[in-house]
Structure 1
Amino acid sequence: MGYFVTGATGFIGRNLVERLLRREGTIFVLVRAGSRGRLEELRTGWGADGARVVPISGDLTQPGLGVSEEDLLTMRGEVDHFFHLAAIYDITAKAEAQERANVEGTRHALELAGTLDAGVFHQVSSIAAAGLYRGRWREDMFDEAERLDNNPYFRTKHESERLVRESARPWRVYRPGIVVGDSRTGEIDKIDGPYYFFKALQRARRVLPAWLPTVGIEGGEINIVPVDYVAAAIDHIAHQPDLDGRAFHLTDPSPRTAGEVINLFAKAADAPQMTVRLDTDITEPAAGAVRGALRWLPPARGALKLTLGRLGLPPEVLTYVDYPTTFDSSGAQAALAGSGIEAPPLETYATRVWDYWERNLDPDLFKDRSLSGAVRGKIVLITGASSGIGKATAVKVADAGATVLLVARNLEKLEATRDEIIAAGGSAHIHRCDMADIEDIERMAEEVLAYHGHVDVLVNNAG
């Protein structure tokens, strides 16, 4: 048995390869130059079996994946299963990048599969291929997809699946739900999907007691599955006979609403839960009016983007809050019957998912909390900067890499402070001002904006 895998160093890919290594056969994996180090780490972690993983140099953006003639000769006729996982699994990615990776990448993978005379072409797609279909989406549905232009992620997932369906190769398509960390360990390597809400939950925990009841929305059903289930299901279904030409929903048969999902992670975070959740069917007329305003009024769009940004939420994530599609997975469940492979309920592993994120992926873990990290490259205006605490602050901030704007009444002392900072290799500018005179303050502010454009940090020592 021989395999070819694209995206083998990715999140789902490496979990799938680990499953394939439990079987016999060579596993050829496409690898970019920049991913070779990562692949070698994985091979080491796979132990002796890692020797059966053979790297094949290539590029998703090149025809035939850019595989060399020498490697083509090695693999031709040796690949029974071609797994295509290399793609962008990110609703916030740029449209051009998604087109190159998801659509053109699939086209090139199909070209290579044809050249190799590979057996079955297995594409890992996504439930996003349904677009924003309103209703229950079956595994045999495809052309019925709706509102694909709402986001390039939906459109490119749908179009890449179309290429597979229209190809001459035997194929099977897998549509996972929103994939989160391993249900046993919580392990994941990037922030996506529900993880975008984690920072907001963490901030709520810091300012509100866990027992405080809050009000939120119920929202649509959010279909979340752990990566270990997805990899195990793909591996099992791929090796079952007589299933070609079908799509399989690797989804939770009992999904939770957006409100329930947020509450499960709020509980895991020891943050306040939404005691009252409003039904979006009732609030939809008002929500529609708000969405219209956000679409057409630039100030409203700006306010929304700013608010979401402060919460660490990209605007695209709101698509899933009132998600209109539910997914039938009867075909996948039938194919998995008797295997013991089932999607575990979210409440059985939500705590592990949260804990892994907070210990390993929380963006605050990687912040430079030094003074230099806070002010380097920024413009810092300091009043009362000619003496005392103001001067000491100016010298220290300039030494940390900031451009310091020195403000005070005494020009001679300001010049002395500026010269001291410049002599030490720093950057400083003088803006003389009487901070007790409103008109002079307004003049100074206009002067600062005219010369520097903006101020990042203001430190007031005057008084």
Structure 2
Amino acid sequence: MSSFVTGATGFIGRFLVSELVDHRDGPIFVLVRQSSLHRMETLITQWTGGAGSSRVVPVVGDLREPGLGVDADWVAEHAGKIDHFFHLAAIYDMTADDATNDAMNVGGTRNALALASALDVGCFHQVSSVAAAGDYHGHFDETMFEEGQPLPSPYHRTKYESEKIVREESPVPWRIYRPAIVVGHSETGAMDKIDGPYYFFPMIKRMRDNLPGWLPLVGVDLGDTNLVPVDYVAKAMDHIAHLPDRNGEAFHLVNPEPQPVVDMINAFCAAAGAPRFATPIDRNVTGGATRLLPRPLRPSNLFSAAVRTAPAKIMLDQTLGRLGIPAEVVGHTSFPSVFDSRITEKALAGSGIAVPDLESYARALWSYWEENLDDTTGRDRRNRAALKGKHVVITGASSGIGKVTALKVAQAGGIPVLVARGKDKLEETKATIEMRGGQAYVFPCDLSDLRAIDDLCARLSSELPTVDFLVNNAGRSIRRSLRLSHDRFHDFERTMQLNYFGAIRLIMGLMPKMHEQKSGHIVNISSIGVQTNPPRFSAYVASKAALDSWSNVVASEVVGHGISFTNIHMPLVRTPMIAPTKMYDKFPTLSPAQAADLVVRAMVEKPHEINTFAGNAGAVAHTFAPKAAFRILNLAYQVFPDSAAAKAKAGPSDAQPTPAPEVVADVPVAGGRESEQILMARLFPGVHW
């Protein structure tokens, strides 16, 4: 069984090809422009894992050319041998103009059909959109198409027209798929561009950074929307495409339950830690009255009509447009149609393929956007001025804070130098940076091995033209009370080995290079624990305090040579390392991207310290009311018990190096004490309990 796919380098296309590789036999031919062959080769390696790459075969062509511009000899050779022709190449952008939409959506569909006809394919699979329903009001099921619906934008019109071409002109059997608004992968959050709800993310980020999360905001009922993750769309298409006797049908790849726009925004606000919107007057109160009004006079319709007028668009461009929200998007935040998907649900019955609840994957979408698509760092002139062309050595760069810091440094024009034990993960990060047009270096090193650090310093000093910044991010965290540590002195040795000796060995090894340059800035990722002294973290906090003190002393000796230090007393950060501790889901934490923003700030502004309010409060309390501070900490010691891992008689290898300042051990919820634990966590946000 063989397949031909257009739009394989696009967002949905990449995931569909991956599904075909994993679940179907036979070759998969993918249309690609000559200029994109190199990118396609990279994707083929990802799809096939580097083995069996002959399964995915690039075919050079162009969506704008008759018959997609595919070589006539290739067509003659493969005629009658293609079972499934998937046409995904199109414009999925509400802001695109008429000409672009016509050329790609309408003209591209005609060209694809011409090639499908010449190949005499078994079935032509057209990826349309629910936009083909236009502004139809009411239930729109999968058997409906020409209902006289208004088509308010070039996108709606061309989606409708391209689907009509397939229905009326296709010389081969066809199936049509109408996805709703497609967002990132429900597990990884992976997304390739800013679209749909992602336009609202910068506004949510500003709310999070400038308003307390508990502050209630007043919202309005803007109607319903419909989001589906890309993995659901790809899996559903692959499954339905290979069912027998379904030709001539359309399938709605939508959420069966429409999602109120306010609920959608609140789901992302919750994921970001931003304040949420309440709707004092919603449709349950007003629904009866508004249904008595003529449809054009109903509030949601009046709003949609108003924001699509020229004066409104100008006003929106000058207001929401400054936050990155196009006026065209505001007018289409909700759907007047309710999309019936009963045919699709029956087709998927028994497959295990279903749309997950948005709340279950909103955090994955937010985290991916914040770490990969948010371009705030790169657009900041100060960041670019400070980092462009600078070599930034980052330890612990394979994941968490270190990895996101590397991505942000590259975004600002800097050159990350990635250091960690795992070479494969470093290479993945380097590849990501290079695919986005940046540059990075990989230097694997076990930072608990002092000789390996010496070798690393020698290589960095000789192979790099400069070492402008050093970010000491790698570290080891151990949570264990003293009463369980009497036979575990190696805990203290290991934390000191990596967090203190390893860090200063690296700094000292690079100091000659910085003295030669007469410049250099060292950023130490310390811990809020140095200021607050939380119980059970004696080994970890002592090692970080030692690095702080050493850096403070050395800073006075080297400042005359243009070398400076910043110690960041980092609060608790939400990373995979703390994910098993479900209690932390309710705790105030920083995201890795927020932590990376602090690291970028340290490099750009070069302050002596970066602290949080909670950290400073803890330091003040220990200075002016030490007895009261220790009483409070003892209360926390009683409220938060030792973990099962801490109580176990573990061997010398149980505590592994992790990016600081993450917590290794799980913290079980003691019966009846969950509310006390949450109260302590919220009173002292970011402290490692």
Structure 1 residues 296 and 38: CA distance shift in structure 2, 3 A: closer
Q: Which consecutive residues of structure 2, in runs of 5 or more, have no partner in the other structure? A: 291-296, 387-689
CA-atom RMSD in angstroms: 2.0
* Change in CA separation of 1:60 and 1:305 when aligned onto 2, cut-off 3 Å: same
Q: 1:326 aligns with which of 331, 335, 338?
A: 338
Shift of 1:121: 0.2
Matched letter for residue 41 of structure 2:
E
Match of 1:113 in 2: 116
Correspondence for 1:74 = 77
Given candidates 330, 351, 356, the residue that maps to 2:363 is 351
- Contact 1:128/1:158 (<8 A) preserved: yes
Q: Partner residue of 1:241?
A: 244
SS at 2:251's partner residue?
Answer: strand
Q: Relative to structure 1, is the Cα distance of residues 208 and 246 closer, same or farther in structure 2, using a 3 angstrom cutoff?
A: same
The answer (yes or no) to whether the contact 2:87–2:127 under 8 Å persists in 1 is yes
Report Cα offsets for 1:236-258 as digits up to 9, x if no partner: 00000010000000111123110
Equivalent residue for 1:180, pick from 175, 179, 183: 183
Listed as ranges, the matches of 1:128-139 within 5 Å are: 128-139=131-142
1:12 is aligned to 12
AA at the equivalent of 2:29: F
In structure 2, C-alpha distance between the alignment counterparts of 1:6 and 1:76, rounded to whole Å: 17
Report 1 or 2 for greater relative contact order, CA contacts < 8 Å, sequence distance ≥ 6: 1
User: Displacement of 1:69 after TM fit?
Assistant: 1.4
Q: Deviations over 1:359-380 (max 9, x none)?
A: 0001213325338769xxxxxx
Mapped partners of 2:219, 2:270: distance in 1: 15
**Do the aligned residues in 1 keep the contact of 2:187 with 2:361 (CA within 8 Å)?**
yes
Aligned partner (choices 285, 297, 306) of residue 318 of structure 2: 306
Counterparts in 2 of 1:78 and 1:266: CA distance versus 1, 3 Å:
same
- Equivalent in the alignment of 1:163: 165
Task: Give the aligned partner of residue 25 of structure 2.
Answer: 24
1:39 pairs with 2:40 = yes
CA distance in 1, matches of 2:305, 2:29: 50
Whole-angstrom distance in 2 between the partners of 1:195 and 1:115: 40
Q: Once the 2 structures are TM-superposed, how far is the Cα of residue 285 of structure 1 from its aligned partner?
A: 5.5
Looking at structure 2, the residues matched to 301 and 192 of structure 1 have their Cα atoms a distance apart, in angstroms, of 18
Structure 2: distance between partners of 1:230 and 1:289: 32
Whether the 8 Å CA contact 1:196–1:312 is kept in 2: the answer is: yes
Equivalent residue of 1:17, what SS? helix
CA deviations 1:135-170 (Å, max 9, x no partner) are 11100000015111x111000000000011112210
- Of stretches 32-41 and 196-205 in structure 1, the one that deviates more from structure 2 is 32-41
Note if contact 2:307-2:331 (Cα within 8 Å) is conserved in structure 1.
no
Distance 2:223 2:306 in 1: 22
Change in 2 beyond 3 A, CA 1:287/1:85: closer
Q: Within 5 Å, which residues of 2 pair with 1:43-62?
A: 43-45=44-46, 46-47=48-49, 48-62=51-65
SS of match in other structure, 1:349: helix
Q: Which amino acid in the other structure matches residue 43 of structure 1?
A: I
Once the two structures are TM-superposed, the CA of residue 91 in structure 1 deviates from its matched residue by 0.8
Percent identity over paired residues: 54
Shift of the 151–308 alpha-carbon distance from structure 1 to 2, 3 Å rule, reads same
Between the aligned partners of 1:293 and 1:186, the Cα distance in structure 2 is 34
Distance 1:188 1:322, change over 3 A: closer
Given that 2:180 and 2:253 are in contact with CA atoms closer than 8 Å, whether structure 1 keeps it comes out as yes
Q: Is 1:130–1:145's contact at 8 Å kept on the other side of the alignment? A: no
1:367 aligns with 2:376: no
Residue 313 of structure 1: CA displacement? 0.5
Alpha-carbon spacing, 1:294–1:318, altered in 2? closer, same or farther (3 Å) = closer
Q: What is the DSSP-based 3-state SS (H/G/I as helix, E as strand, rest coil) of the residue aligned with 2:45?
A: helix
Secondary structure of 1:217's counterpart equals coil
Residue 275 of structure 1, CA deviation: 1.8
Partners of 1:80 and 1:119 within 8 A in 2: yes
Cα distance in 2, alignment partners of residues 335 and 285 from structure 1: 36
2:318, 2:35 → 1: CA distance? 35
Q: Identify the residue that residue 464 of structure 2 maps to in structure 1.
A: none
Distance 1:344 1:62, change over 3 A: same
2:95 alignment counterpart: 92
Structure 1 residue matching 2:178: 3-state secondary structure: strand
AA of the residue aligned to 2:137: R
Q: Structure 2 CA distance, aligned partners of 1:310 and 1:232?
A: 37
Paired residues of 1:214 and 1:272 also in contact (CA < 8 A)? yes
C-alpha spacing 1:329/1:289, structure 2 compared with 1 (3 Å): closer
Match of 1:122 among 121, 125, 132: 125
Structure 1, unaligned stretches of length 5 or more? 375-463
Aligned partner letter, 1:103: V
In 2, the alpha carbon distance for the partners of 1:180 and 1:232 equals: 14
Superimposed CA distance per residue, residues 282-336 of structure 1 (whole angstroms, 9 cap, x where no aligned partner): 79656766766666674x5422220021121001112333421111000111111
Secondary structure at the counterpart of residue 154 of structure 1: helix
Query: Helix, strand or coil: the match of 1:21?
Result: helix
Deviation readout 1:389-424 (Å, 9 max, x if unpaired): xxxxxxxxxxxxxxxxxxxxxxxxxxxxxxxxxxxx
1 CA distance for matches of 2:307 and 2:13? 38
2:214 alignment partner in structure 1: 211
Matched, 1:3 2:3: yes
After superposing on structure 2, the runs of 4+ consecutive aligned residues of structure 1 that deviate more than 3 Å are 277-298, 370-374
Question: Does the aligned pair in 2 maintain the 1:268–1:354 contact within 8 Å?
Answer: yes
Residue of structure 2 aligned with 1:266, choices 252, 269, 283:
269
Structure 1 residues 194, 168: CA separation in 2 closer, same or farther (over 3 Å shift)?
Answer: same
